[in-house]
Structure 1
Amino acid sequence: MPRRRSLMLLGVLWMSCVSTPHISAPAGKPSSQPSGGGVSLPVLFNDNLFIVQPTTREGMTLALFTATGGGLFIQQESATQLGLERTSKDLTGAGATDWVRLPDFQPGAWIPAPEMGEGLLPVAPMPIQEGTFGDGVLGSPWFSGRVWTFDYPGEKLWLRAAGDLPVVEARHRVSLGFRSAYARDAAPQHPRIQVRVDGEVLDLVLDTGSVVWLSESARKALADERTTGRAASVISHSLYERWHQRHPDWRVIEEGDANVPGAVLIEVPRIELAGHEVGPVWFATRHDETFTQYSELFMDKPVAGALGGNALKFFRVTLDYVQAVAVFER
């Protein structure tokens, strides 16, 4: 794919804008406020990944992959099956594309819609990994400007009111880095978080949708009878080489990701995150250039990888995009 076309596609998927919803208002939203703060959204929790499953008033249930480090789109076929009216607009500066509004949902199976970009979602210009992303992806443009709790132990995703954060010790509340401060018309935000591994502070994308597809050799080596596609954390190859040189005893699986030739899996015994020590955590390698380009486009400073659900699974994680903070509860 030519570079210009590739960047336009990134723009369609990653540069759509949304803003803060009004939690008390939208039609079709459940009126109850479940205990634990906010509204519990309909989700399928699958191997530390959250797939949102709203149901339309006509009874069609969607499967929308969520990723705080990803983009925003709906699949072409899904938009057609739902009978959504398409509008051709250039809302991202990447060229005109088709946009649609989410359908009306049943009160007990509701999700919020984007408020920016005239309340529209871009239609993917081509089918994109339907087996992984289902009917589409709800990424950083959907999360931006809101407060969320990813309850991994409880297998729930909560939409909270503005400023509603759990009370924890100060060391369990950490700052998030964003490319720019949140504003109603700002670009979507990809959260950067710091972790410590082997005494080194690392800047990583906090990406709840980071995924690895285990190769056959990796499945045999792990022998855990879990799914092949699962939540993962990833790092640059150069960082992996540093770790492997310092700790040759850390477990390594060559050619561990079926979708990324040459990818290596390395098991880190412990990581330090928001005043907690957790582990072990497996990381999959990616080419250094992957994070160089990603950092240039979406981050406030360079990142060396992404922290995914296999590291977040120990916590109930609340992300406040407006205040740029994250709260971690064991």
Structure 2
Amino acid sequence: MKALVKEKAGPGLRLVDVPEPEVGPGEVKIRVLRTGICGTDLHIRKYDDWARQTLKPPIIVGHEFSGHVVEVAPGVEDISVGDLVSGEGHLVCGKCRNCMAGRRHLCRNTIGLGVNRDGAFAEYLTLPASNVWVHRVPVHPDVAAIFDPFGNAVHTALSFPLVGEDVLITGAGPIGLMAAAVATHVGARHVMITDVSDERLALAGKLGVSLALNVSRTTIGEGMCQLHLREGFDVGLEMSGNPAAMRDMIANMTHGGKIAMLGLPAEEFAVDWATIVTSMITIKGVYGREMYETWYNMSVLLEKGLDLTPVITDRFPYQDFDAAFDTAASGRTGKVILDWSEEARPGRARNEPTEAEAAPTMDRSA
């Protein structure tokens, strides 16, 4: 089968032929239809300091995917050949204190799909059945492929009650955009999202936000005036990892405000702890998804009409992976999808829909 592999230390990825994986005990085998390109994948391709410290090449990369089940190990229940599935990319030990208490997202022994174990940028992958999410309601393969980052957005956005609240989101990357869509959908009063990319802020406008603000030209305080806010934001969702964004967020929160922080800074930075203390601001770190409450929330949000399609801006056949990665790294797009279906072909216009992409619901023929 074809797979995108980090073969050795150094920049780049290669599309090579590798053996198809075999199903182990308690596992399922999946024919991949779509994959999403994540910031983690960009780090791996670049082979930066994090990748050098984390990866042990050779390894198949990628962790965001959708596909059809083609084989199920004996004893696996509630998953059938033909099911459209996504997968939780954090494989946990099941034995530590948090796992035993049902807090699997806090497992200290987590193994990452496409980081510590062969991943999803391939025609086939295997995954423990406990990590497989079966889509019981219709969902397009493109959207199913981004359930992993969608889960990050939902986990962050639903960290605190949002109904009737004024919400500030810093960072309009794909996860920030999805968090904005969630906040608007569940009943926030005002949702303001900030970034320095006009292209990404234009995408935010399609998701129903109250204000998409370019902070290279307009301050958050000026944005608050446009929304007629007098006391600051009730909830902050920090999605960028940018020190200036976090400091600006803290400075514009109401007393008793709550911040959920998903953005991962590249290094330590200072914040105004005096304001955090005297304004009694709560800051919660968020990583990954709650297993599997967040997945349930995601499916219900889509079932109740949340539309993520504006977040998906670019599609490429998997053979054009270099162009796809360059597009994702540009910082000007939404989510970039690689098509691994049998009808994927090189040279297809990057937003030209395939037959499967035109289907309104699950398409088992994709």
TM over 0.5: no
Compare the two structures and name the one with the higher helix fraction: 2
Q: Rg: which structure is higher?
A: 2
TM-score calculated relative to the size of structure 1: 0.29
Q: Which has the higher contact order (CA 8 A, sep 6+)?
A: 1
